Amino acid sequence: MNTLDLLFFAGRPFGPLYSAIQTVRAGMYRKSILKSFAVDVPVISVGNLTMGGTGKTPMVLMLAQTLYDQGFRPAIVSRGYGGTARNNVNIVSDGSAILLPPLEAGDEPYLLASMLPSTPVLTGKKRILPCRHAVDHFDVDIIILDDGFQHLSMRRDINIVLFNATTLAGNSRVFPGGDLREPVNALHRADIFVLTGITSENNTRAHSFQQLLEQRFPDTPVCLSRYSEPFVFDLQNKKVDRESLPLPVLAFSGIANPQRFYDSLENCDIHPVERICLKDHALYTNKEKAQINRAIEGSGAVAAITTLKDRVKLNENDFSVPLYYLSHETSISEPLTDFILSRLETFLHRESS
Q: What is the pLDDT of residues 132-146, one digit of tens each?
A: 999 999 999 999 999
Q: Stretch 66-75: mean pLDDT, rounded?
A: 96
Cβ density class 243-260: b for 16+ within 10 Å, e for less: eebeeebbbbbbbebbeb
Among 264, 265, 257, 263, smallest CA distance to 303 is for: 265
Whether residue 316 is found in the same domain as residue 205: no
Check if the beta carbon of residue 302 is closer than 8 Å to that of residue 257: no
| Number of domains composing the chain | 2
Query: pLDDT value at position 353?
Result: 57
Q: What is the C-alpha separation between 310 and 189, in angstroms, rounded?
A: 32
Whether residue 35 is found in the same domain as residue 172: yes
Residue range(s) defining the domain that contains residue 148: 3-72+141-226+336-352
Whether residue 199 is found in the same domain as residue 274: no
Whether residue 161 is found in the same domain as residue 256: no
Domain assignment present for residue 217? The answer is: yes
Whether residue 221 is found in the same domain as residue 295: no
Whether residue 323 is found in the same domain as residue 261: yes
Residues in CB range of 41: below 8 A, 6 or more apart: 135, 140, 141, 142, 143
Q: What is the C-alpha separation between 337 and 335, in angstroms, rounded?
A: 5
Domain assignment present for residue 32? The answer is: yes
Whether residue 215 is found in the same domain as residue 245: no
pLDDT band, very low/low/confident/very high, at 346 (cuts 50, 70, 90)? confident
Query: pLDDT value at position 351?
Result: 67
Query: pLDDT value at position 237?
Result: 87
pLDDT in tens, 8-48: 878 888 899 999 999 999 999 999 999 999 999 999 999 99
Domain assignment present for residue 182? The answer is: yes
Residue 153: Cβ within 10 Å count: 12
Q: Is the dihedral of CA 167, 170, 176, 182 positive or negative?
A: positive
Per cent of the chain over pLDDT 90 is 71
Domain assignment present for residue 22? The answer is: yes
Whether residue 269 is found in the same domain as residue 347: no
Q: Stretch 225-244: mean pLDDT, rounded?
A: 87
Domain assignment present for residue 129? The answer is: no
Per cent of the chain over pLDDT 70 is 97
Task: Calculate the CA 345 to chain-centre distance.
Answer: 26
Higher pLDDT, 348 or 216: 216
Residue 249 sits in a domain of what CATH number? 3.40.50
Whether residue 56 is found in the same domain as residue 203: yes
Q: Stretch 61-72: mean pLDDT, rounded?
A: 95
Burial of 126 (0-12, 13-18, 19+ CB in 10 A): middle
Longest dimension (CA), the chain: 68
Domain assignment present for residue 61? The answer is: yes
Query: pLDDT value at position 1?
Result: 58
Whether residue 220 is found in the same domain as residue 305: no
Q: Residue 152: is its pLDDT beyond 90?
A: yes
